[in-house]
Amino acid sequence: MQPADSGEPAGMSVPNGPRVKDYFLGGKDNYAADRAKAEDLEAAAQAHSRTSIREMVRLNRAFTLKAVTWSASMLGIGQFLDLGCGLPSRPSVHEAARDGYPDARVVYVDSDPLVMVHVAALQNGPGLAAVQADDLADPVPVLREVRELLDFTEPACIVLGGVLSGMDSGAARKAVAGYADVLAPGSAMVISCAVYGDPEFGERMADLFGGDGRWFNHTKDDIASFFSAGELRLVHGLVMDLRCWPTCPVTAQDEPGGMVLGGIGLVD
């Protein structure tokens, strides 16, 4: 007897991180296993935190887009490298960049082949490219692939929206330092991480995330050290609760529930 047809492509019965994120963002590139995983994560989070994972994912995305537009309009940056870009969503990073710099070039990078299938469709426009990289924690091969697409002798903005949560703190510092090393003065780096103020609960959430890959509950001090490792000067001088960015430079590390912390680091 043949199994009943679920209506979903083969291989989609295992949840996938980018598709789970797509579901939280209200996208349509997800399947039943992804939605079930997302709801399991949401139920666990809501039992402990005033902030749902859906809110945190959407806040992270909103900050990324605002930070990209700000870097383009306020800093005059015209080239962007979006690392760990995930599945395309609207508005996109290149749309946000071009709100501030109409001719901005954007290179999307991800390690997930599924993401690349979707992102490759963006290459039909000028100034856009998609590159697959096996390990975003190792800047050397990633930068080798994008050097012909971006001019690092000119200011550029590197986007690490949530990506460093997939690395332990030591690996994250090395990654930021390696990427920052190629940036010219006037450049910027966007960093954000989801954080739970209660370390024990953070460990529980890391275990739940573990089915799709590693996730680390970085502290505010960890995140500050990422900027320091790249010798980046933080806008407002501190790691921020990104619900407040950019208008009120405050942080809320005392909250035990979920937050998204980060900021923009500048290369002087």
pTM of the model: 0.89
Q: Is the pLDDT of residue 254 over 70?
A: no
Asked if residues 155 and 124 have their Cβ atoms less than 8 Å apart, the reply is no
DSSP secondary structure letter of residue 185: T
Dump pLDDT digits (tens) for 212-235. 457 899 999 999 999 999 999 999
Instruction: Give the torsion sign (CA, 84, 90, 27, 261).
Output: positive
Helix axes 169-180, 139-146, angle to 10 degrees: 30
Contact between residue 106 and residue 97 where contact means Cβ atoms under 8 Å apart:
yes
Q: Which residues of 143-179 are buried (b: 16+ CB within 10 A; e: fewer)?
A: beebeebbebeebbbbbbbbbbbbbebebbbbbbbbb
* pLDDT reported for residue 2: 33
Question: Domain-by-domain residue ranges, the chain?
Answer: 17-46, 53-266
36-44 CB contacts, 8 Å cutoff, 24+ apart = 37/211, 37/212, 40/208, 41/205, 41/208, 41/209, 44/204, 44/205, 44/208
Instruction: Give the pLDDT mean for 12-18.
Output: 80
Percent of the chain with pLDDT over 90: 56
CATH class (in words) of the domain with range 53-266: alpha beta
Q: What are phi and psi of 31, to 5 degrees?
A: -130, 180
In this structure, are strands 157-161 and 79-83 parallel, antiparallel, or unpaired? parallel
CA nearest to 65, candidates 99, 114, 112, 107: 99
Q: What one-letter code names the amino acid at 3? A: P
Q: What is the pLDDT of residues 130-144, one digit of tens each?
A: 999 989 999 999 999
